[in-house]
Copies of this chain bind each other. A is one copy, B any other.
Amino acid sequence: MVSEQKTVDVSFDSLLRIFTVPEGPDSTLTQIEEKLSQNLNQFLREHIVAEEKPLRHIEQDFSDSIIPEQPEFVSDHTQHLLDTLVSQSVHTSAPSFIGHMTSALPYFLMPLSKIMIALNQNLVKIETSKAFTPLERQVLGMLHRLIYSENDEFYSRWMHSANHSLGAFCSGGTIANITALWVARNNALKPDGDFNGVEKEGLFKAMKHYGYEGLAILVSERGHYSLKKAADVLGIGQEGLVPVKTDTNNRICPVALQEKIQELKAQKIKPFAVIGVAGTTETGNIDPLEAMAKVCELEACHFHVDAAWGGATLMSNNYRHLLAGIELADSVTIDAHKQLYIPMGAGMVLFKNPDAMASIEHHAQYILRKGSKDLGSHTLEGSRSGMAMLVYASMHIISRPGYELLIDQSIEKAKFFASLIEKQSDFELVSQPELCLLTYRYIPKSVRAALAKATPEKAQLLNELLNELTKFIQKRQRETGKSFVSRTRLNPEKWHKLNTLVFRVVLANPLTTNDILTKVLDEQRDIAKQAPNLMASIKHLSDEILAS
């Protein structure tokens, strides 16, 4: 707010100043920035509130739809941002924030980000990015090599080739997955005789030309929700995203995959892509990629691996075997903003074959001219920032062995937490961690015994009550603000596939200690006591089942 004494000038000269004169060393903004540079963690601890303010109250601060007619001083507005926005944002870098894949960031990325933003390059073309273009191509090359381990000759031939692309840097995994499926679709429905390809003539004519009745993308039941979006956008339809059953460890069954493919083919439905998941979002499991690759080769399907989250595991020589077979994929999605510890907005898709992206190549008169090395000719997005610089810097400053340590400690921490949960009489581990993600729930010992003994009807009833309890604990814990776990719904084999709400934990933050994890369980146990009626109902029903 601007007081009457203190109105801001809106002359052109004052506007020029905001483009030429930085904030003074005493300004609120400069001071905040300095505090943030000196001790980010403390700044965040001080400025992000612990207690939950109901969203509808926060919304009141963001309710004016009129663009202000009166300018504000930078310092005044910064204070306003601190009071209303920063104070009510989520402390994603807190060591006790273990509910999602967003984690702490290395310090050096803050000033480097500022440099990146100040340079304001646009990666769509060389004319507005220059050295950033070869840098981004190198980053894609590094990730490509991490996955496919081609030799020096391969990379010196393709990495900077004008008419090829080893992949695309994107805003995130969803765009990366869409890009992979777009390429797969266009290659499956490519030009043939009189037909100019789906990219030119569209899906309807393509289907008629090839004589297909439908298109299908196959993925395990645990595939990411964004794949439905992808199927919708690409004109396949959500029903064309065919779920394949998983084993008790949430991994796709290769036999079921092949059967499903043949079943689709018999119906004249073209299964043009199969997606392996390496790490599922909800349980963190990895599909049997080698077996899937074999099926894909046999059935001539594009094999895409969604390793948005788990791909970083390739950095660890101790654990990269978990993703064995990924090198057989035609394309792979990796999000650097997940376990490569880069700020939000750094997705990538890599293609095994440097020619693969030709099917989506595009040109324009004023940019992306043929033969240019403009990155924009192979990306779904147009204008893009120089985020690749942050990946490049992290690769050099942290290095592969550094990432290895980060990955290893996160997996080992998850193993610790799993064994800790298993030692508790009143918690149940629902999914074992394969990487650093696990799920569990609060369920007292006697209730567990009752659930095992119950008739299907009673089991369902009891399970519903437990779901209510899980939801209550998760919400109350989030609202209390000391720690955060997320929740999701699974269908554990053990409980006869009953709809089961579980806590979901991702242990990516290197600052999360074993002690913090112990306290998370203590807190949840305490919160359970804050629902005496619900607890009484659970106990009552359990006793009844056990007595019968």
Contact = CB atoms under 8 A, between A and B. Distances in A.
A382 interface: yes
Nearest to A487: B366
B240 A202 contact: yes
B65 A145 contact: yes
A389 B142 contact: no
Interface string A16-42: 101111110000011011001111110
Given A29-B111, A171-B171, 15 more contacts: A55-B126, A67-B400, A72-B396, A85-B131, A85-B132, A89-B131, A92-B119, A100-B128, A175-B380, A202-B214, A205-B214, A232-B360, A282-B366, A365-B489, A366-B487
A385 interface: yes
Given A68-B400, A160-B59, A92 B122 contact: yes
A11 to B, nearest CB: 8
Interface stretch (A101-109, A243-251, A255-263, A271-279): A101-109
Given A19-B104, A236-B202, A486-B127, A69 B132 contact: no
Interface stretch (A223-231, A296-304, A527-535, A537-545): A223-231
B55 A399 contact: no
Contacts of A229: 360, 362, 380
Contacts of A138: 62-65
B487 A65 contact: no
A119 B41 CA distance: 10
A85 B363 contact: no
A225 B71 contact: no
A133 B502 CA distance: 25
Determine the interface band of chain A, counting residues with CB < 8 A from chain B.
Answer: 35 or more
A100 B84 contact: no
Interface string A138-166: 10011011100000100110011000000
A18 B106 contact: yes
Contacts of A345: 171, 345, 383-385
B111 A65 contact: no
Contact of A389 (B81, B108, B109, B398): B81
12 contacts: A30-B37, A65-B141, A69-B401, A78-B112, A81-B115, A81-B393, A92-B119, A127-B484, A172-B381, A232-B362, A282-B365, A282-B366
